[in-house]
Structure 1
Amino acid sequence: MRQIDVIGIGAGDPGHLTLQAVAAIARADVFFLLDKGEAKDSMIRLRRDILAAHARPGHRVAEGRDPDRDRTPADYTGTIADWRTRRAAVMAGLIADLADGETGAFLVWGDPALYDSTIAILDEILSAGGVPFTYTVVPGVSSVSALAARHRTGLNRVGRPFQVTTGRRLAEGWPDGVDDVVVMLDAQQAFTAYTGQDVHIYWGAYLGTPDEIAVEGPLAEVADEILRVRAEARERHGWIMDTYLLRRGGS
């Protein structure tokens, strides 16, 4: 039986690797890398650096092309479903080349359980019945954890809940019942809708990498700065991954 390990590798700092992740990397025979194009070459380079440091001699690397998708679709749910199906075909092809008894590994940014599709796609492949395998998941340090650590703050306040959501959902309105909101996957800078409220923001991009940027302060005062440094960074790198915490009612 083929074995697959889904390994969380943290938000970008090689030091985010847990001992469990290091052990999983050391035992894998083949590592599957999905190329997202030249603009994100640095993401592949970091994975290769991790393999050079922790993979065993003789390991193999199998690469596939990550399918493109519309980032601002009219039908978001349908677009994601189509992209996952196409990505599943690529991943199934990589897994099919794994010999019986070998262990393959996907190195996943952050934590595989938080806004990542790998687990769901592996379940889809298994449901299709074409490629038999078993898999395990190794948790990792998420960008959310890295953001809180970078700003030396907690995600919640005493006795109060917080919510993790997306920029798309935040644009529809502030979530009910919470004053602390962590936002990921915000291509439209939805936080700008709340500059007129008593909101504090803890913002970070490329967390855990040498390119890390962090801005913190009352949203009304720092929103323009975030928009400026975000645009400059995106232009410089060709991509951006940012996360932020909005805290209503003070810092």
Structure 2
Amino acid sequence: MKTLLLIGIGAGDPEHITVQAINALNRADVLFVLDKGQTTNDLVRLRLDICQRYIRAPGYRVVQVSDPQRDSSTPSYTEGVEHWHEQRAEVFARLVDEELADGEFGAFLLWGDPGLYDSTLRILDRVRAGGCDDFDYQVIPGISSVQALAARHRIALNGIGQPIRITTGRRLHAGDLDNVVVMLDAHCAFAAYVAENVDIYWGAYIGTADEILIAGKLADVCEQIKQAREAARLRKGWIMDTYLLRRTSH
């Protein structure tokens, strides 16, 4: 039986990787690295740096493969994601079939935590449904950008006795503003709520040398965040950011 290890590697700081993740890396015979293109070469480098830093077992192989790109021009977001997942499932099935021998361990190094806004588990379901089912898999949790955001801003995500909600920019609405963590917001959805009495705790590239942190009244820092975000995206070619919105009583 082949075994896949889905290893959460944190939000960017190599020191966020857990002991369980280090042990899993040292069990891997093959490390699968998905390359999203020239603009995200530093994401590939960080994965390779983690391997060089923590893997002590000799003889592992690194297999780097191009990751299919989601077509953002598709009118239906859901259909676009479904098609992207189908393409990724084909890549994953080929990797399992051609690059992993029976009895070997293959590892995917996944940003943050495999259970939070990551598609790998769903894609493996597709791989199995497509007939490639001669493998098992294990999930090794990681520190998510949500946890890293709270730590870097030195805040608790919830108020006393209050719940939190984790959503995307696409799904953000006014009823969410008590304690809401927002991920995958490509269009600064928070800007629609500057008239609300809301604080924002925003972070980009959390845990890396490029980290940017901004916090304050949304009405006061909204434009600062938008400008910093756009400048960083143009400079690096990509951006990963997360933020907490919290309604205030004053």
Q: Which amino acid aligns with 1:62?
A: V
3-state DSSP of counterpart to 2:200: strand
Q: Does 2:197 match 1:164?
A: no
Match of 2:72 in 1: 71
Q: Which amino acid aligns with 2:178?
A: D
Contact 1:95 1:131 in 2 (8 A): no
**How far apart, in 2, do the equivalents of 1:31 and 1:250 lie?**
50
Match of 2:59 in 1: 58
Q: Does 2:187 match 1:188?
A: yes
Q: Does 2:238 match 1:236?
A: no
Match of 1:152 in 2: 154
**How far apart, in 1, do the equivalents of 2:71 and 2:199 lie?**
31
Following superposition, the deviation at residue 73 of structure 1 comes to 3.9
Following superposition, the deviation at residue 63 of structure 1 comes to 1.6
Following superposition, the deviation at residue 28 of structure 1 comes to 0.4
Q: TM-score, length-normalised on structure 1?
A: 0.96
Match of 2:27 in 1: 27
CA distances 1:55-110 after superposition (whole Å, capped 9, x unpaired): 22110011211111133642011110000000110111111120000000000000
3-state DSSP of counterpart to 1:91: helix
3-state DSSP of counterpart to 2:26: helix
Query: How many residues in Structure 1 have an aligned counterpart in Structure 2?
Result: 248
**How far apart, in 2, do the equivalents of 1:240 and 1:168 lie?**
17
3-state DSSP of counterpart to 1:101: coil
**1:178-217 map, 5 Å:** 179-217=178-216
Match of 1:11 in 2: 11
Q: Which amino acid aligns with 2:134?
A: P
Following superposition, the deviation at residue 4 of structure 1 comes to 0.5
Q: Which amino acid aligns with 1:84?
A: H
Change (3 A) 1:175 1:135: farther
Q: Which amino acid aligns with 1:231?
A: E
Match of 2:92 in 1: 91
Change (3 A) 1:74 1:2: same
Q: Which amino acid aligns with 1:68?
A: Q
**How far apart, in 2, do the equivalents of 1:108 and 1:34 lie?**
10
Higher mean C-alpha displacement, 50-59 vs 141-150: 50-59
**How far apart, in 2, do the equivalents of 1:103 and 1:77 lie?**
32
Following superposition, the deviation at residue 48 of structure 1 comes to 0.3
Runs of 4+ displaced beyond 3 Å: none
Q: Which of 105, 108, 117 is the equivalent residue of 2:107? A: 105
Contact 2:7 2:110 in 1 (8 A): yes
Q: TM-score, length-normalised on structure 2?
A: 0.96
3-state DSSP of counterpart to 1:4: strand
Contact 1:64 1:91 in 2 (8 A): no
Q: Which amino acid aligns with 1:191?
A: F
**How far apart, in 2, do the equivalents of 1:116 and 1:203 lie?**
20
Change (3 A) 1:10 1:250: farther
Contact 1:200 1:250 in 2 (8 A): no
3-state DSSP of counterpart to 2:215: strand
Q: Which amino acid aligns with 1:87?
A: R
Match of 2:48 in 1: 48
**How far apart, in 2, do the equivalents of 1:34 and 1:74 lie?**
26
Contact 2:71 2:84 in 1 (8 A): no
Unaligned 5+ segments in structure 1 are none
